[in-house]
Structure 1
Amino acid sequence: MPVVLLLAAIAGMLWALFLAQRSSLLLATLATAAVGYVLGHSFWNAHIGPLPLTLDRLLLAGVTGLFAYRAWRGQLAPRRIGGVEWALAALLVWLTFSALTSKPGGDVQLPTSPLWRLLFSFWAPALLLFIGRGANESNRAAYWFLAGLTALGSYLALTAVAETAGVWSLVFPRYISDPMLGLHYGRARGPALNSVSLGIHLTVCVWAAWLLLPRAPQWAKLPLLVLGPLMVLGILLTFTRSVWLGMIASGVAMLAVQIPRRFRGPVLTGLAVLGIVAGPIAATSLVAMKREDSGHMSQHSVQQRTAFAYVSWKMFQDHPLTGVGFGRFYDQKLPYLSDRSQTFELESLRELHHHNTLLSLLTETGMIGLAAYLGVLYGLLRASWRLANSHEASDAGRRLGALCFAAIAGYLPSAVFHDLSLVHSDQWLLFLVAGAALGFERRLGLSGAGAAQCESPAINQEPAFSGAAGLQ
């Protein structure tokens, strides 16, 4: 047995040296996030003492080591530091300070460890963003990045159809079929056992397929035209309101990036008017929508959002600047549930985490934490918009900018209806895409004034590659 372990260790070191010379950091981060989502804790986990290991954590350690090796060899080009980096640094410092200074006492039992949530929902995604930002990637790697997301979305869409149809023999991993695990059994929920997470991933993947289509080889265009609608079907099968709203928002964002500037104002104004007119009717239908639970339960879920907002406002009034402590909403909300000065009930929140990422940060980390997080999102939106509209950027860079802009637009509606920091894979995906786009944007050194004058490129009108050169 020791001989086998020694040979395995030697083989692993040789393989690591090979990867260190030839692999793409961007694709390595994508593989890390994809494997972590598909083959997560429920698929495999082990412990070294108190430290739990999963495949994504092992891969993240490997990617970090590869990034450090490239930096040591001087293979990474310097990048300018902008507002996103400063806001992200401020967010991480403040959340860490809040978590360390507000540890719960021994008599407080929290279902989720604040330190683990801090590490895997904020520090780890920031690491993925930093690696993607610093990587020296070619246009070819960027196209393969889009192809990798498309492949992930194809698997998730097929899984969503199979599980809602009850064809469990086609569902992998097999634990998805267990109704006792995870949430939202009866809807498409994917390997994370969460319909919201599945919808967010599919939203990003469908736009990756859309952006890849014009640059794909001829033989791949028909499969992409089939897989795109299949991913949209997977999104519909989640039966999740926030995911549907996110798909619509990301579609508007993609339209805003891709249409020529002279048409942008009238088209977006028309969509806004349509939303104002049709929005209330659609909202009524969404509230009444029946899923695996009853229509009454769906209405109660909507009413709980009002209760969460009320409790959050009361907590914010008492702790406006610093909040009650990172990860402490679960127990710190309890005294506020006895408030009877309003007509709606609050007791149903007793066993629940927060259902709003932004309000969760506001109540737990105050205006400082929320401002820093909004600063990160705003900076990423601004950088991705600038990249997608730059004539200085390569075609691959503009596509990554458009993908990042749409990904954030698709993320925000779900962030308003759910605390996405409780499902770290959603944070990983967002920051992974953001890091890929930021790497191309920071390399260009775009000026705000110059970018603002650029005409929006008609991405889908550019001539596609053909044949074997399609992804080069």
Structure 2
Amino acid sequence: MPVVLLFAAVAAVLWGLLFARRASLTITALATVAVGYVLGHSFWNAHVGPLPLTLDRLLLGGLACLLGWRMWRGELDQRRIGGVEWALAAVLAWLTFSALTSRPADDAQLPTSPMWRLLFSFWAPAILLFTGRAARESSRTTYLFMAGLAALGGYLALTALAETAGLWSLVFPRYIADPNLGLHFGRARGPALNSVSLGIYLTVCLWSAWLLLPKAPRALQAVLLVLMPLMVLGVLLTYTRSVWLGLIASGVAVLAVQLPKRLRGPVLSGLLVLGVVAGPLAATSLVALKREDSGHMSQHSVQQRTAFAYVSWKMFQDHPLKGVGFGRFYDQKLPYLSDRSQSFELESLRDLHHHNTLLSLLTETGMIGLAAYLGVLYGLARAAWRLANSDETTDAGRRLGVLCLATLACYLPSAVFHDLSLVHSDQWLVFLVAGAALGFERRLGLSTVGAAHRETPAAGQDPAFSGAAGLG
């Protein structure tokens, strides 16, 4: 095995040297995320001493090397530093400090290593965001980026249909058919074996296909028109409430940008009224939803959210500023489960991680950690809105801004019902799209010297996608 790994490493270096001269950083980052999601740990993994290797980790290492090489050669754009960057730096610094100063005792039994979660759910996404932010990308590359996401969505949609129909011979990778692996067997769950992750990926890919549609050649438009309904069906087949809410929220976000300004107020107000009226009825139906488990189990799952909120509040009261330590909710919650001052039971939380990304950060890293992370999300949403509505950028840049808004909108509902930092592939996708959009947004309002690298809308149009309609 060491000899094989040595030859593989030499081959990778040689191919990397050839690849590094012409490679697009954004497309390379997309390939890293897509390959890591489709061909994850269950597909291939190996150990070099204590170091576990997977394809996504190898590709991420290659991307970091490529980024460093481009930086050394001065081939990255020098862009203004804004609030997002400072907030992200605060998140990384505070979470790292928290993880290092609250390390579990040797006898503590944690199913997930806090340091692993820190590296792959926060530091790795930061690398992906910085890659997109610093890259010098053309409109053509941006369209290819969205086309790559659309292609990924087509594969995931067909996989979702095949696995829910029991057509296992058409499912790849094969381990998806193993009911003993992962979660949510019986629903569409995809290569990550998790219906929540599949729903988030399908939603992002769906809006990428939608935004690419007006700029695509006729043949590609026909393909996209077939694939997009399949992606929607794939999202529905996850049978996951938060994913469905994310699809609706992201649709509203796209609508808010693409509607003419004179119609935005009335239409969005009407949707708000409809949500207030129909929301309680829909909530009742969602709570009673039957999936691969029984209706009783679905009801219990909903009730557990109350228990998580109660325990989180008690932990926050005891540790409001610093939290109990990053990655420590799993063992630090145990003393709180004996509380009998309320009518609902808490004991079922004993073997569970947190089910809310924001409350997890609050209990583990306190108000400091949560405020910094919310600052990142707010800054990204603000930058995406500015980009989507800007006349200073290319058509591709505006479309990327809309895609970033849709991505954040579909991420937040699932983040409220699940701790997505435990599934690093979801974090990677969100920060990948956000970084690509942030790179375009940071070009806005530059001086004449800084604008030398910026395309005008006319120059930025790719001939392969010319002659199509704009955003409207």
| Alignment TM-score, normalising by the size of structure 2 | 0.94
Does structure 2 retain, via aligned residues, the 8 Å contact 1:355–1:419?
yes
Q: Offset of 1:13 from its aligned partner?
A: 3.4
Match of 1:353, SS state, is: coil
- What does 1:229-378 correspond to in 2, within 5 Å? 229-378=229-378
Code of the residue aligned with 1:327 in structure 2: it is G
Do structure 1's residue 137 and structure 2's residue 162 form an aligned pair? no
Match of 1:103, SS state, is: coil
1:453 corresponds in structure 2 to none
Task: Kindly report structure 1 stretches of 4+ aligned residues shifted beyond 3 Å.
Answer: 1-14, 464-471
The 3 A distance-change label for structure 1 pair 3 and 100 is closer
Q: 2:191 and 2:16 mapped to 1: Cα distance?
A: 28
2:195 corresponds in structure 1 to 195
The CA deviation string for residues 267-289 of structure 1, in whole angstroms up to 9 with x for no partner, is 11110000000000000000001
2:38 corresponds in structure 1 to 38
Match of 1:212, SS state, is: helix
Does structure 2 retain, via aligned residues, the 8 Å contact 1:125–1:431?
yes
Match of 2:21, SS state, is: helix
Q: Offset of 1:5 from its aligned partner?
A: 8.0
- What does 1:38-437 correspond to in 2, within 5 Å? 38-437=38-437
Match of 2:52, SS state, is: strand
2:451 corresponds in structure 1 to none
Q: 1:57 and 1:207 mapped to 2: Cα distance?
A: 27
- What does 1:6-17 correspond to in 2, within 5 Å? 11-17=11-17
The 3 A distance-change label for structure 1 pair 168 and 318 is same
The 3 A distance-change label for structure 1 pair 468 and 279 is closer
| Alignment TM-score, normalising by the size of structure 1 | 0.94
Q: 1:211 and 1:403 mapped to 2: Cα distance?
A: 8
Q: 2:467 and 2:18 mapped to 1: Cα distance?
A: 26
Match of 1:185, SS state, is: coil
- Say how many residue pairs are matched: 456
Code of the residue aligned with 1:237 in structure 2: it is L
Q: Offset of 1:16 from its aligned partner?
A: 1.4
The 3 A distance-change label for structure 1 pair 470 and 61 is farther
Q: 1:445 and 1:431 mapped to 2: Cα distance?
A: 23
The CA deviation string for residues 49-90 of structure 1, in whole angstroms up to 9 with x for no partner, is 111011011111111111111111111120110000000000
Q: Offset of 1:338 from its aligned partner?
A: 0.6
Segments of 5+ residues of structure 1 without an aligned counterpart are 448-458
Q: 1:161 and 1:466 mapped to 2: Cα distance?
A: 35
Q: Offset of 1:14 from its aligned partner?
A: 3.4
Q: Offset of 1:445 from its aligned partner?
A: 3.4
Q: 1:106 and 1:301 mapped to 2: Cα distance?
A: 32
The 3 A distance-change label for structure 1 pair 306 and 15 is same
Q: 2:8 and 2:316 mapped to 1: Cα distance?
A: 54
Code of the residue aligned with 1:120 in structure 2: it is F
Q: 2:148 and 2:305 mapped to 1: Cα distance?
A: 36
Q: 1:61 and 1:108 mapped to 2: Cα distance?
A: 31
1:454 corresponds in structure 2 to none
Does structure 2 retain, via aligned residues, the 8 Å contact 1:312–1:363?
yes
Q: Offset of 1:466 from its aligned partner?
A: 8.2
The CA deviation string for residues 322-367 of structure 1, in whole angstroms up to 9 with x for no partner, is 0000000001101111111110000000000000000000000000
Q: Offset of 1:15 from its aligned partner?
A: 2.0
Does structure 1 retain, via aligned residues, the 8 Å contact 2:133–2:439?
yes
Q: Offset of 1:20 from its aligned partner?
A: 1.0
Segments of 5+ residues of structure 2 without an aligned counterpart are 448-456
The CA deviation string for residues 374-430 of structure 1, in whole angstroms up to 9 with x for no partner, is 000000000000000001110000011000001000000000000000000000000
Q: 2:8 and 2:417 mapped to 1: Cα distance?
A: 47
Q: 1:304 and 1:5 mapped to 2: Cα distance?
A: 46
Does structure 2 retain, via aligned residues, the 8 Å contact 1:215–1:465?
no
Q: 1:33 and 1:56 mapped to 2: Cα distance?
A: 7
Q: 2:467 and 2:230 mapped to 1: Cα distance?
A: 23
